[in-house]
Amino acid sequence: MATILGIESTCDETGASVVVDGYDVRSNVVASQVELHAKYRGVVPEIASRAHIENILPVIRESLGQAGRALANVDAIAVAHRPGLIGSLLIGVTAAKTLAWSLGKPLIGIDHVQAHLYSVMLEKNELPPLPAVGLVVSGGHTSLYRVNDWTDIHRLGGTIDDAVGEAYDKVSAILGLGYPGGPIIDKLAAEGDPNAVHFPRTLLGRESLDFSFSGLKTSVLYHVRGVPGKHHKSGVELNEQSRRDIAAGFQAACVDVIVKKLDRAVRKTRSRSVIVGGGVSANRGLRAALKEFRFPVLFPPMPYCTDNAAMSAGLADVLLRAGRTAPLDLDAITYSALT
Amino acid sequence: MTIVTHSVAETEAAAARLAASFRGGEVVALHGELGAGKTQFTRGIVKGLGGDVHAVSSPTFVLLNVYDTGRLKVFHLDAYRVHGAEDFDAIGFAELLEQKGVVVIEWPSRVESLLPPRRIDVKLQTLSPQVRRISVDERTA
């Protein structure tokens, strides 16, 4: 029975969590910096690393306090050391290495993308039918994976331009709405008519497992501001109803593309289930559409969709049992190990 | 130099021709609205240098993508989310300029004060959904 302290600082969230046996989440603390970033439309690295420095020790202390554990009773320290923004990653990695060294406990380096896939195991401890197709969708990621088991994961495809979360953020900006765009558009879409405006679905050919959301973003822009050129068509007036309908039409296009790609990936890899992780996995439109999928679709419990440390502490249990600990000179790396 | 392109492929080809003469140390500032084709143009630059165009994606969220084309490294930056020059500097912008690679910057006007005087300004203007006016201005100082 292993108790693992996990640390997360890959992007704009500072998180710490205590997880027992890879699924039993005793605490999951996230110091959200969203308010800070909303002013600046997104992740600003200088602000992010400064905030991580200020947050990291209080967040670790709080997670231990909530779990009722002293540092001495933790069996290992896990940290998401890739992929992410370098300045942000370094704060978590440095904290984790210092703790592991001073306590004489094993250090475990976690790939954040792999942890997003593992997040479906948290609380439920229910292994999906494997092999599975994994989808990680967030502000920075839109990728498909084949998951043979938690340590044997291969990338099948990904976005060739914008990540889906980024498209949500940019559409939110086009509609004159706030950041992050995901929850705002999801909420508006639920009140709009998805058939009022038709936006294109980019599938990149019959067999491709890659994504493209740039054209969809541009279509929304042209719909709102008008189509430039000699066949000039003026835009639409933005009001409550038109915003709802655009949001619904945009979300329907995103969801359609994701469902089609998942279907393709399952067929191509002869998989038995689908795992969805990352911030966009909280999207209600996507969850509703995948309810009728022909294979079981597993989503993480809501608190583990967005960036958190519990998924890293959970996956670390698997790696610890496999003897895959990290040296104390563990590096922060900007890209994922999954290829 | 100003040209007009009529498709994504033509835009990419124009960028590839520009990049063919690159020797390292170039800074390309890509100006243009949402959807003007800035990431597409970058794909052309990577293609022109002999790199893998599939590696190119929008760096809006991650701020920096690095592509190794074999010949030269391409540092693909995006200042869309950046508030001011200090934020951009924090990701090591000054060091990137000294790497003798090719530095490509989307939304450069947000970090105007950091741009070196010797650079290539590329303006992408949307004339119609398919048509772009591309002006390339090589500033020597």
Question: In order along chain A (339 residues), what is the average pLDDT of each group of 10 residues?
Answer: 96 94 97 66 65 92 96 97 90 98 98 98 96 94 96 95 94 92 96 97 95 95 88 83 97 97 97 97 96 95 96 98 97 90
Contact A24, A34 (CB under 8 A): no
| Chain A residues within 8 A of B87 when measuring between CB atoms | 44-47
Kindly state which CATH superfamily the domain A3-120+305-321 is placed in: ATPase, nucleotide binding domain (3.30.420.40)
> Tell me, what DSSP letter sits at residue A159?
B
Cα A37 from Cα A216, distance rounded (Å): 25
| pLDDT at res. A34 | 62
Burial of B125 (0-12, 13-18, 19+ CB in 10 A): middle
Q: Which helix (H) or strand (E) holds B113?
A: none
- A155 lies within 8 A of chain B by CB: no
Nearest CA in chain B to A45: B87
Task: Give the E-state strand segments of chain A in sequence order.
Answer: 3-8, 14-20, 24-31, 76-82, 107-111, 132-137, 142-149, 152-158, 226-227, 233-234, 273-277, 297-298
Cα A80 from Cα A334, distance rounded (Å): 11
| Cross-chain Cβ contact B60/A229 below 8 Å | no
| Cross-chain Cβ contact B39/A227 below 8 Å | no
Residues of chain B whose beta carbon is less than 8 angstroms from a beta carbon of chain A are 34-35, 39-40, 54, 56-58, 60-64, 80-83, 86-87, 89-92, 126-129, 131
- Distance between start and end Cα atoms, chain A: 32
Tell me, what CATH number does B109's domain have?
3.40.50.300
| pLDDT at res. A46 | 61
Name the residue type at position B119: R
| Chain A residues within 8 A of B86 when measuring between CB atoms | 46
| Cross-chain Cβ contact B39/A41 below 8 Å | no
- A333 lies within 8 A of chain B by CB: no
Per the model's pLDDT, the better-predicted residue between A230 and B105 turns out to be: B105
| Cross-chain Cβ contact B58/A214 below 8 Å | yes
Q: Which of B5, B43, B57, B78 to mutate to test the interface with A (most CBs of A within 10 A)?
A: B57
| Cross-chain Cβ contact B63/A45 below 8 Å | yes
| Cross-chain Cβ contact B127/A229 below 8 Å | yes
**Complex-level ipTM beyond the 0.90 threshold:** no
| pLDDT at res. B140 | 84
Residues with Cβ < 8 Å from B140, sequence gap 6 or more?
A: B118
Q: At A102, is the secondary structure helix, strand, or coil?
A: helix
| Chain B residues within 8 A of A181 when measuring between CB atoms | none
Q: Which of A140, A158, A230 sits opposite B61 (nearest CB)?
A: A140
Q: Which of A82, A85, A333 to mutate to test the interface with B (most CBs of B within 10 A)?
A: A85
Q: Work out whether strand A14-20 and strand A3-8 pair parallel, antiparallel, or are unpaired.
A: antiparallel
| Chain B residues within 8 A of A178 when measuring between CB atoms | none
In chain A, ranges of CATH 3.30.420.40 domains: 3-120+305-321, 128-300
Q: Is the pLDDT of residue B95 over 90?
A: no
Contact A137, A165 (CB under 8 A): yes
Q: At A89, is the secondary structure helix, strand, or coil?
A: helix
Residue A130, CB-side half-sphere exposure with 13 Å CA sphere: 13
Q: Return the bridge partners of A196, or none.
A: none
Burial of A236 (0-12, 13-18, 19+ CB in 10 A): middle
Size of interface A-B (CB pairs under 8 A): 90
Residues with Cβ < 8 Å from A47, sequence gap 6 or more?
A: A33, A36, A37, A40, B83, B87
- A178 lies within 8 A of chain B by CB: no
* Fold classification of A128-300 (topology level): Nucleotidyltransferase; domain 5 (3.30.420)
| pLDDT at res. A162 | 92
| pLDDT at res. A38 | 65
Q: At A161, is the secondary structure helix, strand, or coil?
A: coil
pLDDT in tens, B39-84: 999 999 999 999 999 889 888 877 888 899 988 999 999 998 877 7
| Chain A residues within 8 A of B60 when measuring between CB atoms | 42, 162, 166, 169-170
Residues of chain B with pLDDT > 70: what percent? 99
| Cross-chain Cβ contact A161/B58 below 8 Å | yes
For residue A315, give Cα distances in angstroms to A18, A28, A105, A318, A321: 12, 14, 17, 5, 10
Burial of A196 (0-12, 13-18, 19+ CB in 10 A): middle
Alpha helices in chain B (DSSP H): 8-19, 38-48, 85-89, 93-97
Number of domains chain B contains: 1
The residue range of the domain holding B17 is: 2-139
| pLDDT at res. B116 | 94
Distance from CA of A158 to the nearest CA of B (A): 10
Distance of alpha carbon A210 from its chain centroid, rounded? 17
- The arithmetic mean of pLDDT across residues B22-37, rounded, is 95
CB-CB neighbours of A113 under 10 Å = 28
What are residue B67's phi and psi, to 5 degrees? -120, 130
| Cross-chain Cβ contact A162/B58 below 8 Å | yes
Window 221-240 of A: residues touching B by CB (8 A cutoff) are 221-222, 227-231
| pLDDT at res. B21 | 93
Q: Which of A45, A170, A229 sits opposite B91 (nearest CB)?
A: A45
| Chain B residues within 8 A of A214 when measuring between CB atoms | 35, 39-40, 58
| pLDDT at res. B63 | 82
Cα A134 from Cα A298, distance rounded (Å): 10
Compute the C-alpha angle A251/A213/A336, nearest 5°: 110
Query: Based on C-alpha coordinates, what's the Rg of chain B?
Result: 14
Q: What is the DSSP string of A13-66?
A: -EEEEEEETTTEEEEEEEE--HHHHHTTTS--HHHHHHHHHHHHHHHHHHHHHH
Cα A137 from Cα A139, distance rounded (Å): 7
For A118-146, give one letter per residue: b (16+ CB within 10 A) or e: bbbbbbeeeebeebbbbbbbbbbbbbbbb
Q: Is A171 left (phi over 0), alpha (psi -120 to 50) or beta?
A: alpha
Nearest to A59 by CA among A106, A18, A119: A18
Name the residue type at position A129: P
Prior bond of A296 cis (ω within 30°): no
